Amino acid sequence: MESYPATHFFGADVDADAIEWCVQNLYNGKFVNSRPEPPLPFKSGYFDVVYCFSVFTHLDERMQDMWLIEIKRILKPRGIVILTVHGEQAAATLNEQAAGILKSVGFLHHRSRKLSGIVPDWYNTSWHSQTYIVARLGELFSDVRYTVVPDGIQDLVVARKPECKQ
């Protein structure tokens, strides 16, 4: 990043092939192949910003909660987390029963029969209601903001790690 020499980019993913591609093609970053469950190999309070695009759209609730705690750990005080979740447009494709679960519970994790045995059960497709994800992030972070992306399948959620330790 010639314009921002003090800026460093890091990437972590469970997909070793994706990490190898990043290593070979993205020269201004450091990339690690992570395990499915935390912790990541970074010090507590290391990052100013953590972004997770199309990550929480695949995690079951247990994995989601573990990773939210880990993100909070690696963020500096007042650091920002940016993540995406399936928005209303994506939820519009759900069948009546699934839509009912999402509406009543606020969270739905669908395990595809097609992917059974190919990916772990915790990694399939997830939907979050706006109320659910704002409340869930609000348990760990402050200034939680949900932005509907017009004509988008995924919406944007931004939150800040509190200044003081919680």
Residue 48 in this model has a pLDDT that exceeds 60:
yes
The chain-wide mean pLDDT, for the chain, equals: 92
pLDDT, position 165: 55
Residue 37 is given by DSSP the state: S
Q: Which CATH architecture has domain 47-160?
A: 3-Layer(aba) Sandwich (3.40)
pLDDT, position 4: 78
Residue 166 in this model has a pLDDT that exceeds 70:
no
Is the model more confident about 151 or about 64?
64
pLDDT, position 58: 93
Mean pLDDT (whole number) for 44-58: 96
Q: Which two tokens stand for residue 64?
A: 């989601």
Q: 66 by DSSP, 3-state: which?
A: helix
Q: 161 by DSSP, 3-state: which?
A: coil
Give the Cα separation of 86 and 100 in Å (integer). Answer: 16
pLDDT, position 122: 85
Burial of 6 (0-12, 13-18, 19+ CB in 10 A): exposed
Residue 1 in this model has a pLDDT that exceeds 60:
no
Amino acid letter for position 46: Y
The domain segmentation of the chain, as residue ranges, is 9-38, 47-160
Burial of 28 (0-12, 13-18, 19+ CB in 10 A): exposed
Mean pLDDT (whole number) for 20-48: 95
Give the Cα separation of 36 and 70 in Å (integer). Answer: 12
Mean pLDDT (whole number) for 12-36: 93
Mean pLDDT (whole number) for 95-118: 88
The string of pLDDT tens digits covering residues 85-94 is: 998 899 999 9
| Percent residues over pLDDT 90 in the chain | 79
Residue 128 in this model has a pLDDT that exceeds 60:
yes
